[in-house]
Amino acid sequence: MARITIDDCLKRVPNRFVLVHMAANRVRQMREGSEYLISTSKNEDVVTALREIAADKVFLKNPEIINPE
């Protein structure tokens, strides 16, 4: 994946607001010492988090919060 776009991530996440929260939480996890879920090369943590989301490696813990039915 040469460049990551919002559209790549929105294929896996219901909306942009959820995407922002997922990426922020993932960046926080990485900065606290969590292992990377994809191979990375000199990318910022935010880019790596978005690539992990687009690669379907990061999931919502409680998806029913987003779509209560």
pLDDT in tens, 36-69: 999 877 889 999 999 999 999 998 877 666 655 5
DSSP code per residue over 2-42: -S--HHHHHTTSSSHHHHHHHHHHHHHHHHTTPPPSS--SS
pLDDT in tens, 15-33: 999 999 999 999 999 999 9
Determine the pLDDT at residue 33: 94
DSSP code per residue over 35-68: PPSS--SS--HHHHHHHHHHTT----S-GGGTS-
Residue 12 confidence (pLDDT) above 60 = yes
Scanning the structure block, which residue is given the tokens 């994809």?
Answer: 38
Determine the pLDDT at residue 64: 63
Structure tokens at 11: 């294929």
Domains of the chain and any CATH numbers = 6-65 (3.90.940.10)
pTM: predicted TM-score of the whole model, two decimal places: 0.83
